[in-house]
Amino acid sequence: MEVNWSRNEGVLVAKPVGRIFSSNYLEWQSALESGIKPGDHAMVVDFEQVPYLSSAGLRVLLTTARQFDGPDHAFGISTLTRAVRKVLAASGFDQMIAVYESEAAAVAAINGDRS
C-alpha cells in the first residue's frame, strides 16, 4: 500500500494511493503506523487518490484517529472521493471524524483549533 507523506504547517499529512480492501488493510495499517512519529500531534489523511475504502480500512482509520484524541491533538480526513464519502456516511464515520473538502481546509481548521 503506497502512502505519500508530507507536513503542512506542522500537520502530518498521509496521502494513500489505491483501493483499500480487506485483502490489503494490514498493509494500510502498517503504512500509517510507520509514518506516525512520537511527538506528532495532528494528522490529516487525504483520500483524493483512494477510489474505495472497505470496512477493514475504516477500522484502521478509526484506530489511527484514536491516536490523535486528546488535548492539543487533532485528526481529520480530506478530499474524499464519491465512493469513500458514501462508505463513511453509511457507516456513520463522517460523524465521528472531522471531514474537510481539501487538505488546505483541514490544516487551517486543525491549526485554528490548536491555537
**Contacts of residue 24, Cβ cutoff 8 Å, sequence gap at least 6:** 1
pLDDT for the residue 86 = 96
pLDDT for the residue 4 = 98
Q: Which of 34, 20, 8 is nearest to 102 (CA)?
A: 8
Domain ranges for the chain, please list them. Answer: 2-114
pTM of the model: 0.94
pLDDT for the residue 114 = 58
Counting as low any pLDDT under 70, the low residues of the chain are: 113-115
Q: CA 90, CA 25: separation in Å to the nearest integer? A: 19
Question: Which residue in the block uniquely carries the three cell numbers 503506497?
Answer: 2
Phi, psi of 52, rounded to the nearest 5 degrees: -155, 140
CATH topology of domain 2-114: Transcription Regulator spoIIAA (3.30.750)
pLDDT for the residue 27 = 97
pLDDT for the residue 64 = 97
41 to 62, 107, 111: CA distances (angstroms): 16, 12, 11
